[in-house]
Amino acid sequence: MTHAKITHLIYDMDGVLLNTEIYYTEAIQHIAQRYGKKLDWELKSRMIGRQAVVAGQVFIDALQLPITTDEYIEQRDQILTRLFPKAEPMAGAQELTQRMHHLGIPQAIATSSPTPAFKLKMQRHQAWLHVFDTIVRGDDPNIKACKPAPDIFLRAAANLNADPKHCLVFEDSPAGIEAAKTAGMSVIALTDPNMNPDIYRDADEQITSFNAFQPAQWGLPS
């Protein structure tokens, strides 16, 4: 199977570069339990990859919780602030990004996370950040709309001076996959076995980890 010729790589962060989705799940499960409710994977799949205020409204509406989005974010962030600094890389993420950097492939991070959360997550991984040519966060003033809008990926491509059709995005959420496709980019889904596989159907390829990625199929040096 051959794909578009790829010259630039763009990565989501949560659940792609860093194993932080476990912390989001833990935090929102905790909030649901406070009100005698339960988080399931179908609801989680609708929240994943979205800005906090959007995900919070989905969560509150689905479980009919007696709180505002501000209260949800405040409760969630109290838990996450404690957990984020523990974040570890996803399997194969550091190895792949470092290898591509050494081969001269420009790379970007495009994450919905605002700067304070990004700093907490990457606190112990500062040296790793040097392999990325640009990092676009959710509070970038140039981004008018969050995923599933394509803004964040188009901003990353612009920062890389890249044509979107030659960009390959790694994502783990339906919102992120839709954003990448709307931006005119190719996208590989990193799948979670807990999720309904249908949420990844619009991706160009699905892999369980970076260890399964085959760069040569995308015209990249292997």
* Residues labelled catalytic: 12, 14
What is the C-alpha separation between 196 and 39, in angstroms, rounded?
Answer: 15
Q: Which residues of 180-191 are buried (b: 16+ CB within 10 A; e: fewer)?
A: bbbbebbbbbbb
Q: How close are the terminal C-alpha atoms of the chain, in Å? A: 16
What is the C-alpha separation between 71 and 188, in angstroms, rounded?
Answer: 34
Beta bridge partners of residue 206, listed in sequence order: 189
Q: Are 207 and 191 in contact (CB under 8 A)?
A: yes
Who's near 137: CB < 8 A, 6+ residues apart?
A: 111, 113, 114, 115, 118
Largest CA distance in the chain: 53
Q: Are 190 and 215 in contact (CB under 8 A)?
A: no
What is the C-alpha separation between 157 and 169, in angstroms, rounded?
Answer: 10
